[in-house]
Structure 1
Amino acid sequence: MEKKKKKLQLIILAIVLSLFAAPYSSLAAKTYQPYAAAANEVSKPWMDQSLSAEERAALLLNEMTLEEKVTFVTGNLNNYYGFYNEGMDRLGIPALTMADGPAGVRIANPEIQDKKSTALPAPIALAATWDTEAARTYGELLGNEAFNTTHNVVLGPGLDIARFPWGERNFESLGEDPLLQSKLAVPYINGIQSYPVMATAKHYLLNNQETDRFTINSVASERAMNEVYARPFAEAIQNADLSSVMCSFNQVNGTSACENEAILTDLLKDQIGFEGFVMSDYGANLSTVESANAGMDLETPGAPTGLWEDKLLAAVQNGEVSEERIDDMVSRMLTEMFSKGLFDKPVQNNLIPAEEHGETAREIAEQSMVLMKNEKEALPLDKEELDSIAVIGPDADNGSVAGGGSSLVIPTYTVSPLEGIKNSVGDNVDVHYAPGSDPISAGDILPGPSAVPSSLLSTGGEQSESGLKAEYWTNINFEGEPSLVRTDNQVNFNFGFYNYEGLNAQSPKLPKTPGDFNREMSARWTGEITAPESGEYVLSLSSLGTGKLYLDGELLIDNNSKDLVTDKKTVSLAKGEKHQVRIEYSTGKSGDVQDFGAMVRFGWEPPTGAVDAKIQEAVNLAKKSDVAVVVTHTYDSEGYVDTSSLDLPNNQAQLIKEVAKANPKTIVVQMSGRAVQMDWQEDVPAIVQAWFAGQEQGNAIANILFGEENPSGKLPITFPVDEESTPVSDDIQFPGVDGISEYTEGIFTGYKGYEEQGIEPAYAFGHGLSYTTFDYKNVKAKAKTRGKHKETDVSVALNLRNTGDVTGSEVVQVYVGNLPTNVATPDKQLAGFEKVELKPDNQERVKINLDMKAFSYWDEETDQWIMPSGEVPIYVGSSSDDIRYTGSVYIK
């Protein structure tokens, strides 16, 4: 069983990799023409625009042969990395030209604008705006750039709930709460589809982890699926005319998502009422008859062995799949294509207005930034009172900090935090930079202690360099001459998926490793390690495959595992003494030990007081500067493993602590797509959560730091104290046991789980400070019935006043308490919110209509929403733990 699972993972990964790295065909090397033949309205009556989309689809469907229908619903791999479905010349059907789109349009064709588009703030940053207008603007920019870069399908938004705080793909999510996701997803999708472009919500369903994502069996109750995980999809379908839904790789309650009739037909199409089409994730379709009959409508390129087309045609001819099912697939796709204008308005290739769209990206980034902490008004910084600023951080000079994987776009231009700060202060303030740490890379996703800093390592000999001598082979046994010899600053590598063009390119400081080493390989690193202080050091080796660590010729660690493991050994090292170090690593044979590329890290845990040279340089700079700004960074990416740690990678936590000792005016700007552990938060007066802020990240950060913009972001996820203090810290929940992840927390996801289990977070859901203050007065909660069916509406009204000195925006949040029923319901559940901007001393009467599903629960016996009668608590506040008003309403 394990061998079959590994083989399946290998096949799927190879397909996914081929989509990113396959060579272009001769057709793809040319500028794409979406129509090979112009449609003629006389011979093609479905081109009559006076007819409805349904009528046009029916006319065209009637003209198609069975073979054409099957071809139409089957993806093909001969165009642009497989992200396209060819059109049909005879019928005038345009190609479906797809682009990844959660954080910008990822252009695969180098003939199209050098593959560059606007890198927007990550979706988690959009969620932190709590602003539906910002979501509409975000979607409109995506739709505009998709259409004008020859794309008519955007593979986004991502509606996967951020189930646990360390998820590597949380940055693509709109947060942990289904209502917040829904309220933002609807205008986001409407924005995309305001152009002749179809939006695709993904990944349906229970696709909440990267670890074992191709095979994990996600087991959840019907109630949890309806109240939490399917809820954003349902809202997008019912309120945004969503065109497409993408089914995921994982299993749902024992059946693969793309051949799961219970979720594709029963839940999505029959219960929720989805009239669009379901496409597979790339390579996620595992069957012919099962997936077709379950409700999947389009097989995107990359099924393991081409499971539709000829095989699907044969299945229809022998009666295993009905022609009516094929007609339903085709009709759904054609109706959406006609409805969204794909037949009538061909995509174009028009140059993106880089500066204009960059300004939009900056404005959204500014709204997204969360002021986590601000003691003694450490922020905003006053340029007039500063002579010098130390900017510190491994990638503070890099404007391409972003989440990796399929959502990573090549920006039209970038602005680093260092550039942004320099732009803001001009020549009047001295700004100096020290990295303080080695660059962050895909290796930092691996478990185990931070990598040994390059400043401790040397190649040795007369021409000694910082780092270790590295020798790479394309075989697993170090045979023959090495194919690559170089100096590596650290041993901290994660190849395979993460090493393809564009996916590991966020830092120009990182070495570029040829793709020849992405599968079977072996490597040897040799040189010297020198301790900065005398003491007990913990040396570690994290690896998948075979890893050996030698110190002074003695074998210290010997890893040989089919799993990614970390082994540690404590050694006594004296300051200044050089010790010979050698690391030998082999992936093992593909399909035997590992399938996903090299994973290896040489790590350390230093004794108290041991500070490496890079940190010391940053400390020295901080000492002589008026203020120190430490910009931290995590590496988050789609792939095949979640970090499972909330620690800042590559010794950044130690960097913050040491810099804060040297300069009490140390500001931390945290760039991540997920929560991080902040055991250093008491050491600094101010923290800004800046997320992955897009290509204008530097200017947006500077505008917040210097008060040009007042921070208004609120956390869309809970920041826990540590990995053990969450509602999903049990192994059966994540990463799962025996290939099964059990959603035992049920409906109590995110902040609802913290409340239910009495777990105190570091920073609560909805938290976010401002440079001004707001007062809540005259709060009224009211329930009323309307119509002949006596439907209930609940609203909250209040007077909101800006009681500070600067203009600012407040997000008023309304939560519903326990419902009057014996069924378990949350202590607090988001029921509504409103973002309001006010000038100093101005007041506005704010009315918020609440979501009535917050007053209901899904009943599994009757398969419907139940709204119990009785008194329901109402909480109004600035966050889930900053409640300014408590009241109640009576539900009849």
Structure 2
Amino acid sequence: MFLSYQLAVALLTGAVCASPSPAPRAIYARQNQSTLQTSPPFYPSPWADGSGDWADAYAKAKDFVSKMTLMEKINITTGVGWEGEQCVGQTGSVPRLGLRSMCMQDSPVGVRDTDYNSVFSSGQSVAATFDRALFYARGLAMGQEHRGKGVTVQLGPVAGPIGRSPEGGRNWEGFSPDPVLSGIGLAETTKGIQDAGVIACAKHFIGNEQEHFRQAPESQGFGFNITDSYSSNIDDTTMHELYLWPFADAVRAGVGSIMCSYNQLNNSYACQNSKLLNGLLKGELGFQGWVMSDWAAQHSGTESAAAGLDQTMPGDVTFNSATSYWGTNLTVAVLNGTVPEWRVDDMAVRILSAYFKVGRTLDEPEINFSSWTLDTYGPVHYAASQGYQQINQHVDVRGEHASLIREIGAKSTVLLKNTNNTLPLSKPKFLAVIGEDAGPNLYGPNGCSDRGCDNGTLGMAWGSGSSNFPYLITPDFALSYQAISDGTIYQSVLDNYATSQIEALVAQADVTSIVFVNVDSGEGYIEVDGNIGDRNNLTLWNSGDDLIKNVSALCSNTIVVIHSTGPVIVSEWYDSPNVTAILWAGVPGQESGNSITDILYGKVNPAARTPFTWGADSASYGADLLYTPNNGEGAPQIDFTEGVFIDYRAFDAKNITPIYEFGFGLSYTTFEYSDIKISGSGVTPYTPTTGTTSAAPVLGNYSTIISDYLFPNGSFPRIWQYIYPYLNTTDLAAAADESDYGKTAAEYLPAGALDGSAQPKVAAGGGPGGNPQLWDVLYTVTATVTNTGSVDGEEVPQLYISLGAPTDPVKVLRGFERLSIGAGQSTTFTADITRRDISNWDTVSQNWVITNYTKTAYVGSSSRKLPLSIKLS
């Protein structure tokens, strides 16, 4: 009842997360759909002001932009087109001022589409470490590798999807369905990437929670007759308390770029949703960097410019179409007055502010790879087959990162079950390793394009979030090496369906069996075994459940290792007495076999925590994916009626007992918690932000002589399909690619879209991430954690808070720390509680408030094991 009431209140108060009116071309398709969620407009697009720690970079950017011509500004806001140059996305350059073309490159686990790079553990895996230092170290190492390849922007990290539904295909790229864990992962990874001198691009903003129906053409290719991307319909409270939360952390951490997503939000495309981009991101969160479109996620020209989009990628309307919403069209829009000069100036300032903020200069090394081929020589303009030269220098950027990847792989492995101290292993007499997931892909680790198959062990999932393995250490390889060194009998069967051979092996005397199973998923342009990006269900792949049951029926010491992109249903076998240990090893990257061997043999004492909940069945999670269109040929409608109640919050609200709760994980030692204390800091009351901004700065006058914008024939060759800012004719209406550019702005842009005068500040804003007072520390909680076992270990104490209202979650994670504690020793866990931590979003005042309900802090080892509690005074 609460969720329906909450949504109704948001609608009645006009507080639903909002967007501009649809572009004219879309209005007619929706004119009879009065029940669809919509969003109010927010204009004009806020201009950057250098707030927070952006002042120096902002000053450099303003100075640089003031020297640029209009076409040079447009050149860095528009990609050159798919396969136009060497990177998956690339802007035009400004050679007159020495600015090299900017290179945007996947992925969130390593540099995509090149060689001599590392493959890191997934975001979801590193989240399981609950270790801020490892979040940062992984980001730094990935940033260093991107920098070494000549990349300007790493397209990651990911908090969209956050993981609303466990079947979501790209959940593995992000961190966790908990917004605090996800936000800390996003922020620390951003800091690491940017400290390496590479701009981080946090994505996908926002409500991008499934792969099905994210793009109409892609969906049509799979037989679904829809004309628009799905709409995520999210109420205002849910937006702030769940989906926006981690992006606020990224903005506060100084992220340089944010990628808007394919989907619609409340029936307006995310890349032209003015409430989302202008109101929430740039207004409320005070974002100083730039908004980049996902690839072909832009659906309009002037409308998206007014709504807050700053850069279109890869530049063409559809791949290799040779048309663009911007480029020439944006030049026309400024010349005919439908886009003000200050808006293009702001786009350029935002891009260059982020560029200078990470320490970039005008003498950056050239891009030394090609996304389109590993050949040493080839065309730099791949689509046009022009510019033959050396395009791959095969630069080795891996450094010493293998040891970090191995460490993260081990420290992210969650020990879910360990009966009678089965683990760690110590020179077992006879070791049998079973399952395809223990072995290699017979086509090689990169044998399937973008890892679009599930052959062999799961070291990486599929899609644009993948990269090429330099090698992949399989569990079979690493375990056999360990066993041979120990004098252990070692045999393996790497075919899940070799039933007679498996049974003959595991039925022998004194056998310890380790069964490796997996579950894969990925991006929606690839289908694997009937799974279109998203998983069809939560069961193991390749008959993994039958494999476990068959082995454990014959072997009384069966250990199960799961590689997966999220939770799986283990109900049929997890409590079998013959299944003596279960480990979740996530998506670990290139050192997979070494990492799991380190855990199995006790070289690393496990302390990881599951970053999601393991339910007894898929219905327990509540929020399911939409697998069948529900709006005729129009945009599928996905109503987030569960509100903030996803994952453990849903289990708590419904009083459902999970198999393994969020935050759960075992160790080879034991810990006790005691002596919780709380202290207050006496911070002053919260003050909403007031006042007005300065007027939009205009950085230089542009020529009004139309002939100045014609393509400079003879100066350089025109590249086929390349996106330029130049005109082909002095007739502006004829120069534009679409009819909207022949209209006046008043005909189709909402009121205020062109207004560059001083604007009221957003009450919940005031600095990058939001009102700075949200991060005031109101309380500090401490507790004693004691290692009561006989071996040294690490423990992850967690702080949860009950916000008190009957409509709130039972508890929400608000802090954690991974602590090293010697055997028999104690240490102190300390966690600060900020104003934001104990606030709720108020839809009436449009601000954060601390309600009058009693707040309680809990400390323990998981979301369901919280022995300590204390009320906040």
Amino acid at match of 1:810: E
How many angstroms apart in 2 are the aligned matches of 1:400 and 1:788? 51
How many angstroms apart in 1 are the aligned matches of 2:659 and 2:148? 44
Amino acid at match of 2:76: F
Shift in Å at residue 290 of structure 1? 1.1
Contact 2:132 2:185 in 1 (8 A): yes
How many angstroms apart in 1 are the aligned matches of 2:129 and 2:363? 33
Partner of 2:105: 99
Q: Which has the higher contact order (CA 8 A, sep 6+)?
A: 2
Shift in Å at residue 435 of structure 1? 2.0
How many angstroms apart in 2 are the aligned matches of 1:179 and 1:151? 29
Contact 2:857 2:869 in 1 (8 A): yes
Partner of 1:56: 60
Partner of 1:181: 182
Q: How big is each residue's C-alpha offset from its partner over 1:796-832, in whole Å with a ceiling of 9 and x where there is no partner?
A: 111111111111111101111142x46x211111111
Partner of 2:809: 826
Partner of 1:79: 85
Partner of 1:253: 266
1:163 counterpart = 2:169: no
1:117 counterpart = 2:117: yes
Shift in Å at residue 850 of structure 1? 2.3
- Cα separation, partners in 2 of 1:170 and 1:882, compared to 1, 3 Å: same
How many angstroms apart in 2 are the aligned matches of 1:177 and 1:400? 24
Amino acid at match of 1:859: D
Partner of 2:47: none
Instruction: Note the residue ranges of structure 2 that are not aligned, 5 or more in a row.
Output: 1-24, 30-54, 216-228, 369-393, 441-456, 526-531, 688-775
Partner of 2:333: 315
Partner of 2:150: 150
Partner of 2:549: 657
**More divergent stretch after superposition (782-791 vs 179-188):** 782-791
Shift in Å at residue 143 of structure 1? 0.9
Partner of 1:292: 305
Partner of 2:96: 90
Shift in Å at residue 838 of structure 1? 0.7
**More divergent stretch after superposition (856-865 vs 403-412):** 403-412
- Cα separation, partners in 2 of 1:230 and 1:734, compared to 1, 3 Å: farther
Q: How does 1:689-728 map to 2 (within 5 A)?
A: 689-728=584-623
How many angstroms apart in 2 are the aligned matches of 1:750 and 1:668? 24
Partner of 2:574: 681
1:387 counterpart = 2:429: yes
Shift in Å at residue 347 of structure 1? 3.7
SS at match of 1:685: strand
Among 833, 853, 858, the alignment partner of 1:850 is 833
SS at match of 1:228: helix
Q: How does 1:331-730 map to 2 (within 5 A)?
A: 331-344=349-362, 346-347=364-365, 351-352=395-396, 354=398, 356-383=400-427, 386-398=428-440, 401-427=459-485, 428-437=487-496, 614-624=498-508, 626-640=511-525, 641=532, 642-678=534-570, 679-683=572-576, 684-729=579-624
Shift in Å at residue 870 of structure 1? 4.8
Q: How big is each residue's C-alpha offset from its partner over 1:340-365, in whole Å with a ceiling of 9 and x where there is no partner?
A: 22224514669446472111100011
SS at match of 1:95: coil
Percent identical across equivalent pairs? 33
SS at match of 1:786: coil
How many angstroms apart in 2 are the aligned matches of 1:343 and 1:86? 17
Aligned-residue CA RMSD in angstroms?
2.2
Partner of 2:277: 264
1:191 counterpart = 2:198: no
How many angstroms apart in 1 are the aligned matches of 2:347 and 2:185? 29
SS at match of 2:854: strand
1:172 counterpart = 2:173: yes
Amino acid at match of 2:271: C
How many angstroms apart in 1 are the aligned matches of 2:285 and 2:159? 16
**More divergent stretch after superposition (157-166 vs 640-649):** 640-649
1:800 counterpart = 2:804: no
Contact 1:107 1:116 in 2 (8 A): no
How many angstroms apart in 2 are the aligned matches of 1:166 and 1:216? 17
Amino acid at match of 1:639: G
How many angstroms apart in 1 are the aligned matches of 2:89 and 2:649? 38
Matched pairs, number = 656
- Cα separation, partners in 2 of 1:233 and 1:345, compared to 1, 3 Å: farther
Partner of 1:770: 667
Partner of 1:231: 245
Contact 1:783 1:793 in 2 (8 A): yes
How many angstroms apart in 2 are the aligned matches of 1:702 and 1:355? 23
How many angstroms apart in 1 are the aligned matches of 2:685 and 2:512? 65
- Cα separation, partners in 2 of 1:742 and 1:334, compared to 1, 3 Å: same
SS at match of 1:724: helix
Contact 1:400 1:695 in 2 (8 A): no
1:205 counterpart = 2:90: no
Shift in Å at residue 225 of structure 1? 0.8
1:141 counterpart = 2:152: no
Contact 1:217 1:253 in 2 (8 A): yes
- Cα separation, partners in 2 of 1:737 and 1:876, compared to 1, 3 Å: farther
1:880 counterpart = 2:869: no
Shift in Å at residue 781 of structure 1? 2.9
- Cα separation, partners in 2 of 1:659 and 1:851, compared to 1, 3 Å: farther
Q: Which has the higher strand share?
A: 1
SS at match of 1:785: coil
Q: How big is each residue's C-alpha offset from its partner over 1:124-147, in whole Å with a ceiling of 9 and x where there is no partner?
A: 001001100001100110111011
SS at match of 2:779: strand
How many angstroms apart in 2 are the aligned matches of 1:401 and 1:187? 23
- Cα separation, partners in 2 of 1:296 and 1:869, compared to 1, 3 Å: same
Amino acid at match of 2:248: A
Instruction: Note the residue ranges of structure 1 that are not aligned, 5 or more in a row.
Output: 9-50, 109-114, 438-612
How many angstroms apart in 1 are the aligned matches of 2:300 and 2:309? 11
Tell me the TM-score normalized by structure 1.
0.71
- Cα separation, partners in 2 of 1:52 and 1:798, compared to 1, 3 Å: closer
Amino acid at match of 1:137: A
Partner of 1:786: 683
How many angstroms apart in 1 are the aligned matches of 2:602 and 2:207? 41
Partner of 2:768: none
- Cα separation, partners in 2 of 1:345 and 1:378, compared to 1, 3 Å: farther
